[in-house]
């Protein structure tokens, strides 16, 4: 399991956290990285954070859930690193249900935060009735009111070209940041749609020209995590 990496515009760490409060998204098995041993979590996370150099002046912190599920001691350790390494931009991820707590986290960290949220798709029925995200909002403006960077999911059987096209259009039009995750088969029963992914790759290869939109074809494209091989590589 790789837990530290350097990207072109930021360093990134994959920390351990307490269990995801929701933990019912049908495609997700990352929550197996979570733990209830807070002391061990804090010890491991401090070891990971000690690798941060500050050379990019930006840091992304991810974990198997929301940043609000990181123990208080780990959050304090992140802030210590921010100060010690002169970090001036922080990327964090949060579930939609924590949206009322984003301002408090910004106040605590005292630097600009790019908040990510796992929308997966702007199609409400697919997001909630199929993926079971428990993420309900009325429109894109409501998402923008809280979050800076939606995370989208591409390549699950049941998705359509039209759905994905609309998602990408909304991302580009309304947000400066974003992540598009191409689904990697894992221990869940969700199936990867290889033909849909080939279509996406051909149509949206130009997304690479957007410096603040990350397209991840593999679950370790950020350089962290445990690689799961796909039967059909793109």
pTM over 0.75: yes
Q: Inform me whether the pLDDT recorded for 230 exceeds 70.
A: no
The full set of domain ranges for the chain reads 4-216
Q: Inform me whether the pLDDT recorded for 231 exceeds 60.
A: no
Nearest-angstrom CA–CA distance, 84 and 82: 6
**Residues 80-113: pLDDT tens digits?**
999 999 999 999 999 999 999 999 999 999 999 9
Confidence of residue 229 (pLDDT cuts 50, 70, 90): low
Contacts with 182 (C-beta within 8 Å, 6 or more apart), sequence order: 154, 155, 197, 200, 215, 216, 217, 218, 234
Q: Inform me whether the pLDDT recorded for 232 exceeds 80.
A: no
161-174 helix and 194-203 helix, angle to the nearest 10 degrees: 40
**Average pLDDT over all residues of the chain:** 95
**What's the pLDDT score for residue 32?**
85
**Residues 136-158: pLDDT tens digits?**
999 999 999 999 999 999 999 99
Mean pLDDT on 174-199: 97
Q: Inform me whether the pLDDT recorded for 134 exceeds 70.
A: yes
Rg, the chain, Cα only: 17
Between the CA atoms of 26, 27, 32 and 34, what dihedral angle is there, to the nearest 10 degrees? -80
Q: Inform me whether the pLDDT recorded for 63 exceeds 90.
A: yes
37 within 8 A of 71, measured Cβ to Cβ: no
Please check whether the domain covering 4-216 is classified as CATH 3.10.450.50.
no
Task: Report phi then psi at 153, rounded to 5.
Answer: -120, 130
Helices (H) and strands (E) in the chain, counts: 7, 8
Q: Which H helix or E strand runs over 169?
A: helix 161-174
72-84 helix and 102-109 helix, angle to the nearest 10 degrees: 40
């Amino acid at each position: 399991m790789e837990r530290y990496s350097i990207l072109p515009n930021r360093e990134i760490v994959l920390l351990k956290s307490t269990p995801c409060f929701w933990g019912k998204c049908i495609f997700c098995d990352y929550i197996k990285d979570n733990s209830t041993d807070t002391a061990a979590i804090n010890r491991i996370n401090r070891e990971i954070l000690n690798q941060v150099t500050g050379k990019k002046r930006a840091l992304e912190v991810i974990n198997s859930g929301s940043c609000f599920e990181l123990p208080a001691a780990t959050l304090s350790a992140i802030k210590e690193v921010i100060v010690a390494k002169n970090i001036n931009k922080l990327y964090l991820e949060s579930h939609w249900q924590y949206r009322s707590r984003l301002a408090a986290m910004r106040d605590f960290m005292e630097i600009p935060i790019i908040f990510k949220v796992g929308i997966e798709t702007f199609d409400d029925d697919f997001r909630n009735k199929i993926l079971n995200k428990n993420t309900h909002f009325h429109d894109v403006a409501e998402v923008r009111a809280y979050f800076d960077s939606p995370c989208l999911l591409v390549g699950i059987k049941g998705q359509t070209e039209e759905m994905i096209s609309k998602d990408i259009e909304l991302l580009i039009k309304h947000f400066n940041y974003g992540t598009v995750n191409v689904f990697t088969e894992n221990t869940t029963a969700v199936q990867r749609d290889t033909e849909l992914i080939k279509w996406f790759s051909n149509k949206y290869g130009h997304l690479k020209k957007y410096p603040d939109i990350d397209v991840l074809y593999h679950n370790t494209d950020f350089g962290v995590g445990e690689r799961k091989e796909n039967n059909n590589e793109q």
